């Protein structure tokens, strides 16, 4: 297949994948070498396919690099049994920094793992019949689905489809099990001809993200995904899905060829067509994505540059059948439900806020210990949300009081007394672990929200909900470009400020101010809140007011 960019040299990652299609590198031999505290830079790229990022503690760089690893689980729909949660909790204590970091894709990350603990941690995950394979890398990542317990029986079918698709889109490399379970360095010459039946020898040009959503709740931020399925219910039955494609948020500062993009609605498919359609969309990315420039390699650029009509024709030619026209749907809101709620089956679920997604123990709130005691006592299923929170589900009426008491003893509130704006926040880890971070995020956002709460309270707006998201760089892992108020790191203590996302997660925001200094934040935000209070229409949210008023100023500027 001839493509426009074939005359350009391939990126270095493409050369690596082509030379080693099993993604093994020298990982096993380095893992067994007690003198090595890190992997080579090239092997660091292979590590990602195995769910691992090689990092260093950036707080300590002045005294020399201290290498460590971030490991991310692959947890379809964010659903963990009690036994699985115990494994993650134990490993965080034994090998990581004694915290569990919830991700914006319903998974768990371990931070601060040193090389000597990497092998035992990975083997323990696989011994528990879980995996980290394809949690990172140029493949389909963790498949998302709504975590809130069902109100209708057909919604369970969405989770089933999510799990099936997660399995169907896994790569087949033999190196994962060999390295992390058997501890064997594979001989590349014996596997040089490995050709993954879905991904081929060189996998995808970049990462690929998939999600399922059930209207009217868009808690997975569906339109930020490369591939999406909007559940369509008719007469109490799941009849199929509207297909979306071409979403993605990553960009680079000062590079106009990179930009956030919202996915397009392509057509309607029946439930038994999900796997075939997903694989066809993925192979369009495989065959047409830009392999010469990784910053321009996502599926969103294929859709933007070739058009939706072209994409649908190409997709249908691979499928051998035509999609139907999209069916009506409506998204109304996003976000999580906190506190106690009843499920359709009479049992209860409990939504718990986890500030910036970090499950840990502090002097005031011992959330990690509390969750473990609840899970140990009641064998509770745990669900992770796309907004980095936790839901405990399938709780019997007679268990509610006991769970309340355990949480109370550990300083964890089940009545959710956080302000609406704090409850709607999300941040990426950023410094000191992420090598891409230009500014703080997780460590900075709670203090910023303290200041914003003060600004709102002084204006009589303390119950105002504003969806706020922050990232330490423009890659957008916490989806700041869909927020009503987004902050994207530009440099230490400087952020670009974005405004105009909406409650339903169906509108991208726009940059309003660039490189706002930390010391100027209260003045800038206070000024916007003053204008919002005076100029809003009845019931108008901050994001809608921003799109109506501030976007006009952006155009004029």
Task: List the catalytic residues.
Answer: 72, 141, 207, 209, 428, 434, 473, 477
Burial 43-53 (b: 16+ CB within 10 A, else e): bbbbbbbbbbb
**Helix residue ranges, H only, 266-399:** 274-288, 299-306, 308-319, 367-378
CA 58, CA 17: separation in Å to the nearest integer? 29
Count Cα atoms within 13 angstroms, Cβ side, for 52.
30
Q: Are 503 and 333 in contact (CB under 8 A)?
A: yes
CA 116, CA 478: separation in Å to the nearest integer? 30
Which residues on neighbouring strands pair with residue 88, listed in sequence order?
none
**Helix residue ranges, H only, 222-319:** 274-288, 299-306, 308-319
Q: C-alpha distances in angstroms, 318 versus 272, 278, 286, 314?
A: 16, 11, 13, 6
Q: Are 138 and 14 in contact (CB under 8 A)?
A: no
Which residues on neighbouring strands pair with residue 229, listed in sequence order?
212, 243
CA 439, CA 493: separation in Å to the nearest integer? 6
| Residue of 111, 84, 81, 138 whose CA lies nearest to 434 | 111
Which residues on neighbouring strands pair with residue 144, listed in sequence order?
211
- For the chain, the C-alpha Rg in angstroms (whole number) is 23
Which residues on neighbouring strands pair with residue 391, listed in sequence order?
351, 383
Peptide bond before residue 216 is cis, with ω within 30 degrees of 0: yes
Q: Which residues contact 337 (CB under 8 A, 6 or more apart)?
A: 148, 351
CA 547, CA 509: separation in Å to the nearest integer? 8
């Amino acid at each position: 297949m001839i493509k426009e960019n074939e005359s350009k040299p391939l990126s270095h990652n493409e050369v690596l994948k082509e030379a080693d299609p099993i993604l093994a590198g020298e990982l096993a031999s380095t893992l067994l070498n007690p003198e090595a505290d890190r992997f080579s830079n090239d092997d660091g790229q292979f590590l990602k396919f195995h769910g691992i990022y090689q990092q260093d503690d950036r707080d300590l760089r002045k005294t020399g690099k201290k290498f460590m690893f971030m490991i991310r689980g692959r947890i379809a729909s964010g659903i963990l049994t009690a036994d699985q949660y115990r494994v993650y909790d134990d490993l965080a204590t034994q090998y990581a920094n004694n915290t569990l970091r919830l991700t914006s894709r319903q998974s768990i990350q371990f931070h601060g793992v040193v090389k000597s603990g990497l092998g035992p941690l990975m083997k323990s995950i696989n011994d528990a019949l879980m995996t980290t394979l394809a949690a990172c890398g140029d493949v389909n990542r963790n498949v998302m689905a709504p975590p809130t317990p069902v109100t209708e029986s057909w919604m369970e079918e969405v989770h089933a489809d999510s799990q099936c698709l997660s399995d169907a889109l896994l790569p087949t490399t033999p190196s994962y099990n060999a390295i992390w379970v058997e501890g064997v360095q594979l001989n590349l010459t014996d596997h040089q001809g490995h050709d993954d039946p879905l991904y081929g020898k060189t996998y995808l040009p970049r990462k690929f993200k998939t999600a399922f959503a059930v209207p009217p709740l868009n808690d997975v931020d569906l339109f930020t995904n490369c591939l999406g399925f909007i559940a369509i219910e008719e007469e109490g039955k799941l009849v199929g899905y509207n297909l979306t494609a071409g979403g993605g948020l990553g960009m680079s500062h000062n590079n106009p060829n990179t930009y956030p993009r919202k996915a397009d609605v392509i057509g309607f498919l029946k439930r038994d067509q999900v796997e075939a359609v997903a694989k066809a969309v993925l192979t369009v990315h495989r065959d047409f994505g830009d392999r010469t420039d990784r910053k321009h390699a996502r599926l969103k650029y294929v859709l933007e540059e070739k058009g939706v009509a072209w994409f649908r024709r190409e997709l249908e030619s691979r499928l051998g059948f035509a999609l139907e026209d999209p069916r009506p749907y409506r998204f109304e809101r996003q976000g999580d439900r906190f506190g106690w709620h009843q499920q359709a089956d009479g049992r209860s679920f409990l939504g718990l806020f986890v500030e910036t997604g970090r499950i840990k123990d502090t002097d005031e709130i011992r959330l990690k210990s509390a969750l473990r005691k609840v899970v140990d006592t009641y064998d509770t299923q745990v669900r992770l949300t796309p907004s980095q929170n936790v839901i405990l589900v399938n709780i019997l009426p007679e268990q509610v009081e006991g769970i309340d008491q355990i949480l109370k003893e550990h300083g964890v509130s089940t009545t959710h007394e956080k302000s609406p704006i704090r409850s709607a926040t999300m941040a990426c880890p950023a410094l000191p672990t992420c090598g891409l971070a230009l500014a703080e995020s997780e460590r900075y956002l709670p203090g910023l929200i303290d200041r914003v709460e003060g600004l709102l309270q002084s204006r009589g707006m303390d119950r105002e909900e504003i969806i706020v998201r922050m990232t330490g760089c423009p890659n957008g892992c916490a989806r700041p470009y869909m927020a009503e108020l987004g902050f994207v790191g530009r440099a230490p203590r400087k952020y670009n400020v974005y405004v105009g996302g909406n409650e339903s997660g169906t509108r991208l925001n726009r940059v309003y101010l660039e490189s706002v200094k930390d010391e100027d934040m209260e003045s800038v935000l206070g000024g916007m809140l003053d204008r919002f209070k005076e100029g809003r229409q009845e019931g108008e949210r901050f994001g809608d007011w921003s799109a109506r008023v501030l976007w006009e100023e952006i155009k004029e500027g």
